[in-house]
Amino acid sequence: MPKTRIACWNVQKGQHLAAAADYLNAWRPDVWLAQEILPAHQALFELATAMRCYPASPTLNSPNDNAVFIREGGVFDVSAEYLHPSAPWHPPADLAVRSANTDSLSASNSISLISVHLCGFSASTRLQEADWCTTLAAPGQLAIIGGSWNSYPADEGPDSDLWKHLLSEDNPARDPSLYMGRTYAENCVRHTDDRPDRIMTDAGFIDVAQFAHQSLDRLHAISPTVGHQDKDRQGGRWRVDRVYISARLAPAILDVEIGEVQTVGNLSDHLPILITLDTEKTAALMRARPDTESAANAKAP
């Protein structure tokens, strides 16, 4: 069975670059949704991974960060690249791709491949960034959106008792900045910020890790992605990095893995998410029209 591999990984800018490239080469992704990619390191990763880098638009706020890497001659051909220089913080890297090797009679619809790194210090900015992602839920569109969300999945973040502990004067790792950055104010009370996740799922996107956990029995898929290097800095170990996929593409998901701490935990303060799709099923879902697919599903027993 031909397989399409998609990696999502914040490589921690400027750290252990050669080893990170070696790790990616060992897994050999077709797509890498990358964060914290400095402009000076794009060529290094292109050469080391034999993938082409499509960086996000540089801005005064963010001269670096997000990129989408595509394996040339692989399963996808890039059909369009979109830049977002007016984004409120780190602009997303945004590509439209089609299945490679399709003739005009079987031309596929495109998939948007998006790498994001939501604002770490402002919940209101994250809200705006997540709202933008929902534009990719328009009828007929397909998208895979992954990155560092700097917020929590619904009902998984720190509770009020943990926040109190993290803010205690007796806590040597006390960090009011983390508290302010990862919570939002409502009715004079601060709440753990899980709104970007709720926005994405309300828009119809699927958290691939949750899907793999619930539908494929991949218990490890919902492992934390941060906090393995410095638990105090993150207030614990949490699933801050996530990948969302259009619900129509969910039947193509074969596996979701989180990079093991013992193998890759020393290379970055974020662990990679490694997704495996059925290539043929993905191509078929890309070719299918939404109305045709809905009708077929309605007739299915």
Q: Between vectors from CA 36 to CA 34 and to CA 40, what angle results, nearest 5°?
A: 100
What is the rounded (10 degree) CA torsion for 62, 65, 70, 71? 140
| Mean pLDDT score, 247-252 | 97
Are the C-beta atoms of residues 141 and 112 closer than 8 Å to each other? yes
pLDDT band at 300 (very low <50, low <70, confident <90, very high): very low
- Name the fold adopted by 3-152+195-299: Deoxyribonuclease I; Chain A (3.60.10)
Instruction: Indicate whether 188 pLDDT > 60.
Output: yes
What is the pLDDT confidence band of residue 233, given thresholds at 50, 70 and 90? low
Burial class (CB in 10 A: 0-12, 13-18, 19+), 286: buried
Q: CB neighbours (10 Å) of residue 226?
A: 23
For helices 123-133 and 195-202, what crossing angle results, to 10°?
20
Taking all residues of the chain, what is their mean pLDDT, rounded to a whole number? 90
**Cα 139 from Cα 82, distance rounded (Å):** 19
Judged by average pLDDT, the poorest of 30-39, 64-73, 98-107, 119-128 is 98-107
Q: Kindly tell me if the per-residue pLDDT of 301 is higher than 70.
A: no
| Per-domain boundaries in the chain | 3-152+195-299
Confidence check: pLDDT of 297 > 60: no
What is the identity of the amino acid at 213? H
Q: Locate 129 and state its tokens.
A: 């960034």
Residue 67 pLDDT level (bands cut at 50, 70, 90): very high
Q: Which of 298, 114, 153 is nearest to 240 (CA)?
A: 153
According to DSSP, the β-strands at 3-10 and 31-37 are parallel
Q: Which of 104-118, 189-203, 235-249 has the lowest mean pLDDT?
A: 104-118
Q: Which of 198-212, 222-236, 286-300 has the lowest mean pLDDT?
A: 286-300
Residue 42 tokens read as: 């794009």
- pLDDT given at position 235: 81
Compute, in degrees rounded to 10, the torsion defined by CA atoms 126, 244, 42, 270.
70
Is pLDDT at 252 greater than 80 in this prediction? yes
Mean pLDDT of 293-297: 40
Cα 75 to Cα 110: distance, rounded to the nearest angstrom: 12
Q: What is the pLDDT averaged over residues 186-206?
A: 96
pLDDT digits (tens, 9 = 90+) for 79-132: 999 999 999 999 999 999 999 876 544 456 899 999 999 999 999 999 999 999
Q: What is the reported pLDDT for 166? A: 81
Rounded Cα–Cα distance for residues 68 and 93 (Å)? 6
Locate 245 and state its tokens.
Answer: 């996929």
pTM, two decimals, is: 0.92
- Cα 273 from Cα 245, distance rounded (Å): 13
Q: For every residue of the chain, which 3-state class applies, written as one string?
A: CCEEEEEEEECCCCCCHHHHHHHHHHHCCCEEEEEEECHHHHHHHHHHHCCEEEECCCCCCCCCEEEEEECCCCCEEEEEEECCCCCCCCCCEEEEEEECCCCHHHCCCCEEEEEEECCCCCHHHHHHHHHHHHHHHCCCCCEEEEEECCCCCCCCCCCHHHHHHHHCCCCCCCCHHHHHHCEEEECCEEEECCHHHHHHHHCCEEEHHHHHHHHCCCHHHHCCCECCCCHHHHCCCECCEEEEEEHHHHHHEEEEEECCHHHHCCCCCECCEEEEEEHHHHHHHHHCCHHHHHHHHHHCC
Q: Quick one: pLDDT band at residue 215, thresholds 50, 70, 90?
A: very high
pLDDT tens for 140-171 read 899 999 999 999 999 888 888 888 888 888 88
Distance separating alpha carbons of residues 271 and 258, to the nearest angstrom: 7
